[in-house]
Structure 1
Amino acid sequence: MITNASLADRARRVMPGGVSHELRYRTPHPSYIARALGAEKWDVEGKRYIDFKLGAASQLLGNSCPQVIEAVAGQLTRTPYTGDCHALEIEWAEWIHRLMPSADLVRFTGSGTESTMLALRLGRAYSGRDKVLRIDGHFHGWHDMLLKGAKPGFEGAPSLGVPQAIADLTVIAPSSLNAVADLLADDQIGTIFVEASGANYGSVPLPDGFLQGIRDLATQTDKVLIFDEVITGFRWSPGGRQARDGVLPDLTTLAKIVTGGLPGGAICGKAEIMELLDPGKPRGGFAPPVSHKGTFNAAPLVAAGAIAAMELLSTGEVQAQADAMAARLRDGINRCFESRQISALAYGDSSTCHLYFGGRSIDGLSAAEIRTVPAPLVNGLRNGLLERGVDFMSFTSCVTSSAHTPELVDEAIEIFDETLADLVMNGVIAA
């Protein structure tokens, strides 16, 4: 019989730690998912979970969206991949151009990390300056160039193997416009990166007016402003955070929802910057001026599924449903905290839910303060929820989808309350 434990034993023999992503690691072993539909999934042992991870926030339409699956299956009968141009990539780019306000031109990539790599290369090429300013605790993928500052309150890169010479090109700023303005006086900074939601898809929200303020500063100091909308894109609204708030960056990085939850990513932005990718417009002896390759960029299978997703995402109805379910989840969890007299808070924007266990407000707190949680609480809550059949994306954060229903959310709230009761009884949380 196949079990989670037996698969973990096999995995450890052939993969470091037995996993393909460090956040999937779990002791004594992870759960191995065999099937997923809507807002639920089942592991190889048949155990069912209410899913608030949703493919690391990629499945806004819910797991196994029928329209996306039908489109991918239809394309598979024609060709999964040849490495050539095809009509679907044009249609997909047209959807992004139509929905994202900053998207004069679009280029597809293989992942969100690749999107931020390419956007940074473009920012440096257009500005002619090597340094990049990023906000403390914001996440822009796992590559060397933007890893410094991903761990809040830590000045270095949170990984071995990142050359100091690369880290020195990154300037970390708090989410304070005054501090950002002071740092932008450095003429070597040519590019600014901001996670449009705030750090960790909004677990540390940006101050009111921050996006417009940093837009103004970038314009005044002649910097290239890049919004990382890998999670907010098409989730906060059909046109992302930038459309909802009316603040346009110079470049935008996309992944997850832009592909219909399939592997891939994209960048889009001002024509004058994006044209540096045009092989037909050489500059400085290079054609194209900014090199970008990628075997599986805009693969037909992905493009077909993405187009099907765009048709659903464009109306705003799926976002409204997901937002309503997240609000219901946050309200229900806060009622649990209040009834048990636990000093904690569920909060979030759009279709997200974040947890803070240090009080009833996060106002004025730094990213490090919000995201520092004792290990017993981390393990107790995450393991308790998983054992009872609820899967959050992380211990303190999750997302909802258009497939979530009031009944599923209410069931998850009951499970959350049961888990809290255990943590209080065991002295992990003070009530």
Structure 2
Amino acid sequence: MTRNQTLADRARQVMPGGVSHELRYRAPHPIYIDHALGAEKWDVEGKRYIDFKLGAASQILGNSCPEVMQAVAEQLTKTPYTGDCHALEIEWAEWIARLYPSADLVRFTGSGTESTMLALRLGRAWSGKDKVLRIDGHFHGWHDMLIKGAKPGTNTAPSLGVPTAITDLTVVAPPSVDAIAALLDQDDDIGTIFVEASGANYGSVPLPDGFLSGIRDLATTRGKVLIFDEVITGFRWAPGGRQARDGVTPDITTLAKVVTGGLPGGAICGRRDIMELLDPGKPRDGLAPPVSHKGTFNAAPMVAAGAIAAMKLLSTGDVQKQADAMAARLRDGINACFTNRGMAAVAYGDSSTCHLYFGGSSIDGLTAAQIRTVPPALVNGLRNGLLERGVDFMSFTSCVTSSAHTPELVDEAIEIFDETLGELTEAGVIAP
């Protein structure tokens, strides 16, 4: 029995399904990573993988970034956490305020999910309206309030245990400004609009041209609170995220992953008048603060230290340029594989992402449900085939790159991808 199998057997005795995150589940067992560096990682059996998962898109600087590692190590000699205010959280917030157009004020959270929870609470408090409009297929964390509509093409929550009293407060809309305007006309109880700034699932379903500016104008004219989920686009699309790159500023922004330097945690930032609802020194309606928010590990010193080190690297834009170039090289190489094999498939993506669609040479005009409906045999075949050959994608049809990726690593991955396509074609999983 291999070490990966042994660990999987142990894990199943103490954790549901043997995993701590449902997307880490894999039959017959997951791989267990021992260490990682740059754009590579090694499992407990010593097998090496070219990493395009990168900590669920958190490691744009590459795994084990030396500057981040050193900053965290130095902070650990002082204290990882005491539950008090500290100077590092101020410096970290100053970096975000400097780089992000929407960041008049910043509040730190424990994760991306917590960031979207807090942003929604602020949206409801400011608007005085309970309902939130979200876009079909966009992902905003696993909590009850925004999970309805996360599975594209559905108007329900993709989980048991979510009360209808909660989901009734969520309105799911297509990515169309006109359709959203019509829904706002029909329901005056909608006060907040939530948008994944990349389009569904970090751009696997891109937003229509002009959507972000259109929804900004609509939110302004209708008096709605506009929230951009930049948990993945934040600091990846540009030092100031998608909003800085495209010149569209929301009222509130949710952040995690890259904002922490790839460490656990998150943040929100936004308009001063809305964010001041979190200020305990400015009571309203007998409440101080008007909007309550706690969190034991918010801006923990060891996370703040690593994040500051990351901000110094991310602020120049060089990190993003390198990651973008490597993603473009990967997309071009995969598309060449498809062309050479005569396959009706396409690799596409924005910034440092790469998404795959099997079923045509373009995704134009397709819905989120159409793009993300993939036969299980292809899902498992592609995922397992790549892993067996030493390439790890973030999901079966999507991945990201980092500044640590090199042309040599990307080209090696393209060769492995082509080998996997050949195997799946021979097995009849993909039509030749």
Q: Which residue identity lines up with residue 102 of structure 1 in the other structure?
A: S
Q: Does 2:335 align with 1:334? A: yes
Is 1:352 the counterpart of 2:353 in the alignment?
A: yes
| Other structure's SS at 2:374 match | coil
Structure 2 match to 1:372: 373
Aligned to 1:381: 382
1:99–1:238 Cα contact (<8 Å) kept:
yes
**How many Å separate the matches in 2 of 1:105 and 1:337?**
47
In structure 1, distance between residues paired with 2:126 and 2:174:
25
SS in 1 for 2:172: strand
Deviation digits for residues 197-256 of structure 1, max 9, x if unmatched? 000000000000000000000001100000000000000000000000000000000000
* d(CA) in 2 for partners of 1:251, 1:2: 48
Partner of 1:107: 107
What is the alpha-carbon distance in structure 1 between the residues aligned to residue 376 and residue 2 of structure 2?
A: 31
Q: CA deviation at 1:2?
A: 6.8
State the one-letter code of the partner of 1:290: V
Aligned to 2:427: 426
CA distance in 1, matches of 2:285, 2:258: 36
Q: 2: CA distance between counterparts of 1:367 and 1:184? A: 22
**Structure-1 separation of matches of 2:223 and 2:364:** 31
Letter of the 2:218 counterpart: L
Q: How many angstroms apart in 1 are the aligned matches of 2:164 and 2:354?
A: 36
Counterpart code for 1:82: T
Aligned to 1:141: 141
Unaligned 5+ segments in structure 1 are: none
- Please name the residue that 1:265 is paired with: 266
Provide the C-alpha distance between the structure 2 equivalents of 1:206 and 1:98, rounded to a whole number of angstroms.
Answer: 27
Q: Which residue of 1 aligns with 2:116?
A: 116
2:404 maps to a residue whose letter is A
State the distance in 2 between where 1:381 and 1:107 align.
40
Partner of 1:48: 48
Distance 2:17 2:423 in 1: 30
1:11-410 aligned within 5 A = 11-185=11-185, 186-410=187-411
Q: Give the whole-Å Cα distance in 2 for the aligned partners of 1:284 and 1:12.
A: 50
Structure 2 residues without counterparts, runs of 5 or longer: none
Cα distance, 1:177 vs structure 2: 1.1
The 2-side partners of 1:196 and 1:183 are apart by 20
TM norm structure 2 = 0.99
Is 1:413–2:403 an aligned residue pair?
A: no
Q: How many pairs align?
A: 431
Q: For 1:12 and 1:233, locate their aligned partners in 2 and report how far apart those are by CA, in whole Å.
A: 35
Q: C-alpha displacement at 1:408, in angstroms?
A: 0.1
Contact 1:330 1:347 (8 Å CA) reproduced = yes
Distance 1:183 1:345 in 2: 34
Give the 3-state SS of the residue equivalent to 1:94 in structure 2: helix
SS at match of 1:291: coil
Does the CA-based 8 Å contact 1:2-1:44 persist in structure 2? no
Aligned partner of 1:3 in structure 2 is 3
The worse-fitting range, judged by mean Cα deviation, of 116-125 and 178-187 is 178-187
Q: Whole-Å Cα distance in 1 between the matches of residues 21 and 280 of structure 2?
A: 35
Ranges of 4+ aligned residues in structure 1 off by more than 3 Å: none
Q: Distance in 2 between matches of 1:295 and 1:177?
A: 39
Measured in 1, the distance between the counterparts of 2:367 and 2:323 equals 28
In 2: Cα distance, 1:238 partner to 1:391 partner: 26
Give the Å deviation of 1:346. Answer: 0.1
Residues 180-189 or 14-23, more deviating: 180-189
Residues of 2 paired with 1:44 and 1:392: CA distance? 19
Letter aligned with residue 228 of structure 2? F
Q: Secondary structure at the match of 2:296?
A: coil
- Superposed CA offset, 1:291-334 (max 9, x none): 00000000000000000000000000000000000000000000
Partner AA of 1:27 in structure 2: A
Q: Secondary structure at the match of 2:429?
A: coil
- The TM-score, its normalising length taken from structure 1, stands at 1.00
Q: Aligned partners of 1:231 and 1:377: how far apart in 2? A: 26
The 1-side partners of 2:317 and 2:430 are apart by: 39
Equivalent position SS for 2:96: helix
Check whether the contact 1:277–1:291 (CA below 8 A) recurs between aligned residues. yes
Q: CA–CA distance in 1 between the matches of 2:286 and 2:364?
A: 51
CA–CA distance in structure 2, aligned partners of residues 384 and 93 of structure 1: 43
Give percent identity, aligned residues only. 84
- Tell me the distance in 2 between the aligned counterparts of 1:374 and 1:284: 54
- Distance, in Å, in 1 between the alignment partners of 2:45 and 2:370 is 38
Q: Is the 1:328–1:409 contact (alpha carbons within 8 Å) kept by the matching residues of 2?
A: yes
Question: Could you say what secondary structure the match of 1:184 adopts?
Answer: helix
